């Protein structure tokens, strides 16, 4: 009883796994997964997904394995079941198809021939079997002759039986493609991750400190990783994204980047980039030199080396550091290297300067008219708009860096080296943000005739120096009195007002003035008082500049419209620097560019199987759809002849073929 039950259960499983419905169901799931894998960008760093989707959906998609669909455990499991299901389907139905292909059905009964849709009979005085046989062979039929007990004869002919091979090719193609997918999906690696033998590394540590559990040997079945190599540097590993961490893939060779080449269009967009590399085999010492370009990989030991990107390769930098907390101090030079970190001491406090990537080219769209107050981040957002005239311009080199305090809190900065032109004026652009989720907020520091921030820094130092307020206020009061803007009786009051406005502005900028108005001035009088403060500040800023230039031993600045705009822009910049978030302003003075090449290395043993499977699939589809199987019987019984015909596709062509063959056979018989 138990044996019968087990046999029936095994048979049920066999029926399920080998059924067409089961295979179609698996294919449907794979198709949906492929759509998801196409729409959702794969193998991005996990923080990118968390920022884009939010924590809830990020965790849901992570649990579903949607960030690496084609290598997820459930996807590979479905592939394995599809291989099993399709293989069983071939084994189950294959013998019947082969038997059907080889059979001529020469023993078909008279009743079955007469019952066929395409069947006709006629009388004939004599029948020449040799002539009929020659005719059918001339028409491309293969035939078999069967004598009957009544003395009659059956000629069973067929052609196009190869069309049934399309079934085998299509199913075998599916198996081959899935096996290729399983090979490239690296099933052993997934099993290692599930069993805990392979553990992705999540720390940012040097490559030689990564433990063995996070390293993969050079004999790993398949992989797709990336590595960035600076000029004249080497690498013998590549890095694989693995969830919220990464794995180190050992390579059987060493890659050395001799030279990186990049050509640009006139607007600064990259036109061509390529890498001159030397690949040295670790075992034999054999070297291979090649130039790797986009879509022109180098293949060594079954590993394809693609040119995927380029960037900064740790370039020496020179910063000019302006002490914002002690504006009277002269700037100092700080050497640094991009893509590295170093200690920085400012105002008695310890910081870590984490220098990011040096970008020599920054391409932006300046085709849309820009408002004077629009920030660089807003203009960069506009550059993503589709419906506008695009005028691309290179804004020059930029450097990103973070300043991290002793508590681990960091502020990120993006500084441009070249002056940015806006409405006829030149500015030094400095972006700042407190978290990566925020866009950069840009401070526009106006530049003088020498394209320098020296004059602005002198003005700022004077604005923030309370010891100069008396002198500045006297200058402002004397000028106002001379221009009849105030009476002698109001001179002292005006002087005090100037000092108060300067002190409030120097302490917290426009935000401080606005807060005072909100806290101390009735709402119905705020607008008038605010206008008064602004006029005092705009008038006094020229005196601040004059005092600063005088102390520096420089001639007074000419007060025309261009220079007055410089002063007003300086007020905005001084106010913005109150929220800058750092005690120093690091101005990029120079650099020695070191380029780096981003290479993608892939080992895809299943790739050729996928190609082979695709060819088989196309060939199978062609056979199934374009090769018709035709079967024709000629039954001779005395003076009576019956012609019957059938096909695997009943269409109008079959009607015409049947009529043509029947007519020719009639003529052949009558001719005999």
Report pLDDT for 524: 86
Q: Where are the beta strands (DSSP E) in 338-404?
A: 340-346, 349-359, 363-365, 392-394, 398-404
Average pLDDT value for residue range 239-264: 91
pLDDT at position 377 over 70: no
Rg (CA), the chain: 41
Written in H, E and C, the secondary structure of 601-647 is: EEECCCHHHHHHHHHHHHHHHHHHHHCCCEEEEEEEECCEEEEEEEE
Average pLDDT value for residue range 492-515: 89
Tokens of 648: 């695997």
Q: Is 279 helix (H, G, I), strand (E, B) or coil?
A: strand
Report pLDDT for 671: 52
Report pLDDT for 6: 58
Give 9's pLDDT tier (boundaries 50, 70, 90): confident
Give the separation between CA 316 and CA 592, rounded to whole angstroms. Answer: 5
Average pLDDT value for residue range 99-127: 86
Give the separation between CA 424 and CA 508, rounded to whole angstroms. Answer: 29
pLDDT at position 625 over 70: yes
Question: How many of the other CB atoms lie within 10 Å of CB of 543?
Answer: 22
Report pLDDT for 373: 44
Tokens of 589: 């003075």
Report pLDDT for 268: 67
Give the separation between CA 402 and CA 421, rounded to whole angstroms. Answer: 26
Q: Which residue has the higher pLDDT, 643 or 667?
A: 643
pLDDT at position 2 over 70: no
Instruction: Enumerate domains of the chain plus CATH numbers.
Output: 2-99+168-184 (no CATH), 106-160+629-671 (3.30.310.10), 198-221+223-312+596-603 (2.60.98), 316-377+391-449+587-595 (no CATH), 457-579 (no CATH)
pLDDT at position 395 over 60: yes
pLDDT at position 378 over 50: no
Give 476's pLDDT tier (boundaries 50, 70, 90): confident
At 536-571, the pLDDT tens digits run 888 889 989 999 998 989 998 888 889 999 999 999
Span of 85-89, 203-207, 644-648 with lowest mean pLDDT? 203-207
pLDDT at position 498 over 70: yes
pLDDT at position 371 over 60: no
Helix, strand, coil percentages (3-state) for the chain, rounded to 5, are 45, 30, 25
Q: What string of DSSP letters covers 460-475? A: HHHHT-GGGHHHHHHH
Find the DSSP H helices in 521-558. Answer: 523-551
User: Is the pTM of the predicted complex or chain greater than 0.95?
Assistant: no
Report pLDDT for 388: 44
Question: Are the C-beta atoms of 634 and 662 separated by less than 8 Å?
Answer: no
pLDDT at position 312 over 60: yes
Most confident of 129-138, 266-275, 291-300: 291-300
pLDDT at position 385 over 50: no
Report pLDDT for 570: 94
Average pLDDT value for residue range 91-113: 86
Report pLDDT for 303: 95
pLDDT at position 602 over 60: yes
Q: Which residue has the higher pLDDT, 10 or 325?
A: 325
Report pLDDT for 342: 96
Of 262, 280, 282, the closest CA to residue 272 belongs to 262
Percentage of the chain with pLDDT > 90? 43
Percentage of the chain with pLDDT > 70? 94
Instruction: State how far the alpha carbon of 424 is from the alpha carbons of 428, 433, 484, in Å.
Output: 14, 27, 34
Give 3's pLDDT tier (boundaries 50, 70, 90): low
Average pLDDT value for residue range 253-262: 94
Report pLDDT for 653: 82
At 275-303, the pLDDT tens digits run 999 999 999 999 999 999 988 999 999 99
Give the separation between CA 449 and CA 435, rounded to whole angstroms. Answer: 35
Query: For residues 575, 576, 577 and 582, what is the CA-based torsion angle, rounded to 10 degrees?
Result: 140
Of 130, 233, 243, 257, the closest CA to residue 189 belongs to 243
Sign of dihedral through CA atoms 168, 171, 172, 173? Answer: positive
Axis-axis angle for helices 454-463, 561-576 (nearest 10): 60
Average pLDDT value for residue range 403-432: 93
Q: Which residues of 561-597 are buried (b: 16+ CB within 10 A; e: fewer)?
A: eeeeebbebbbbbbbbbbebbbbbbbbbeebeebbbb
Phi-psi region of 347 (alpha: psi -120 to 50; beta: other; left: phi over 0): left
Mean pLDDT (the chain) is: 87
Helix (H) or strand (E) holding 160: none
Helix (H) or strand (E) holding 405: none
At 584-593, the pLDDT tens digits run 999 999 999 9
Give the separation between CA 212 and CA 534, rounded to whole angstroms. Answer: 66
Instruction: State how far the alpha carbon of 499 is from the alpha carbons of 394, 474, 542, 564, 583, in Å.
Output: 44, 9, 14, 21, 25
């Amino acid at each position: 009883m138990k044996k019968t039950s087990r046999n029936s259960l095994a048979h049920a499983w066999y029926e399920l796994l080998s059924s067409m419905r089961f295979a179609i169901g698996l294919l449907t799931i794979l198709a949906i997964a492929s759509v998801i894998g196409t729409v959702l960008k794969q193998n991005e760093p996990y923080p990118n997904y968390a920022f884009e989707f939010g924590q809830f959906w990020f965790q849901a998609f992570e649990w579903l394995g949607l960030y690496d669909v084609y290598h997820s455990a459930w996807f590979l499991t479905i592939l394995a079941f599809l291989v099993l299901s399709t293989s069983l389907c071939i084994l189950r139905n294959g013998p019947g198809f082969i038997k059907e292909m080889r059979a001529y059905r020469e023993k078909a009964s008279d009743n079955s021939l007469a019952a066929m849709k395409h069947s006709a009979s006629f009388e004939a005085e004599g029948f020449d079997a040799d002539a009929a046989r020659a005719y059918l062979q001339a028409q491309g039929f293969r035939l078999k002759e069967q004598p009957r007990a009544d003395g009659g004869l059956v000629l069973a002919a067929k052609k196009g039986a190869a069309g049934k091979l399309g079934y085998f090719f299509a199913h075998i193609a599916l198996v081959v493609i899935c096996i290729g997918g399983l090979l490239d999906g690296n099933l052993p690696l997934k099993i290692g991750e599930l069993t805990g033998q392979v553990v992705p590394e999540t720390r940012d540590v040097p490559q030689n400190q990564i433990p063995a559990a996070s390293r993969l040997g050079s004999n790993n079945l398949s992989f797709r990783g990336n590595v960035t190599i600076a000029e004249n540097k080497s690498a013998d590993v590549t890095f694989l994204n693995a969830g919220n961490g990464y794995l180190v893939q050992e390579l059987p060779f060493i890659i050395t980047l001799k030279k990186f080449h990049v050509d640009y269009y006139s607007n600064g967009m990259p036109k061509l980039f390529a890498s001159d590399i030397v690949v040295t085999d670790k075992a034999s010492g054999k070297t291979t030199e090649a130039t790797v370009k986009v879509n022109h990989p180098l293949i060594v030991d079954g590993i394809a080396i693609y040119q995927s990107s380029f960037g900064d390769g740790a370039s020496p930098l020179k910063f000019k550091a302006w002490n914002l907390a002690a504006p009277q101090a002269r700037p100092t030079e700080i050497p640094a290297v991009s893509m590295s970190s170093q200690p920085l001491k400012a105002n008695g406090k310890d910081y870590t300067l984490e220098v990011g990537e040096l970008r020599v080219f920054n391409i932006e769209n300046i085709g849309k008219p820009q408002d004077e107050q629009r920030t660089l981040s807003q203009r960069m957002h506009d550059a993503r708009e589709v419906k506008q005239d695009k005028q691309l311009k290179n804004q020059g080199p930029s450097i990103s860096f973070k300043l991290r305090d002793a508590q681990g809190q960091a502020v990120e900065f993006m500084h441009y080296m070249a002056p940015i032109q806006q409405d006829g004026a030149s500015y030094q652009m400095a972006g700042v943000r407190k978290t990566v989720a925020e866009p950069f907020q840009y401070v526009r520091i106006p530049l003088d005739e020498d394209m320098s921030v020296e004059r602005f820094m002198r003005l700022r130092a004077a604005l923030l120096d309370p010891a100069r307020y008396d002198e500045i206020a006297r200058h402002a009061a004397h000028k106002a009195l001379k221009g009849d803007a105030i009476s002698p009786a109001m001179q002292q009051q005006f002087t005090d007002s100037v000092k108060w406005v300067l002190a409030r502005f120097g302490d917290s900028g426009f935000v401080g003035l606005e807060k005072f108005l909100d806290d101390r001035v009735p709402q119905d009088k705020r607008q008038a008082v605010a206008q008064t403060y602004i006029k005092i500040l705009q008038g006094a800023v020229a005196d601040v500049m004059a005092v600063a230039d005088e102390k520096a031993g420089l001639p007074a600045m000419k007060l025309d419209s261009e220079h007055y705009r410089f002063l007003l822009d300086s007020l905005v910049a001084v106010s913005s620097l109150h929220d800058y978030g750092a005690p120093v302003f690091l101005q990029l003075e120079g650099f020695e560019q070191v380029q780096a090449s981003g290479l993608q290395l892939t080992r895809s043993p299943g790739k050729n199987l996928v190609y082979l499977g695709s060819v088989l699939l196309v060939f199978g589809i062609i056979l199934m759809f374009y090769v018709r199987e035709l079967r024709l019987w000629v039954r001779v019984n005395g003076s009576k002849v019956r012609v019957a015909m059938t096909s695997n596709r009943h269409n109008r062509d079959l009607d015409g073929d049947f009529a043509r063959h029947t007519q020719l056979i009639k003529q052949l018989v009558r001719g005999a």
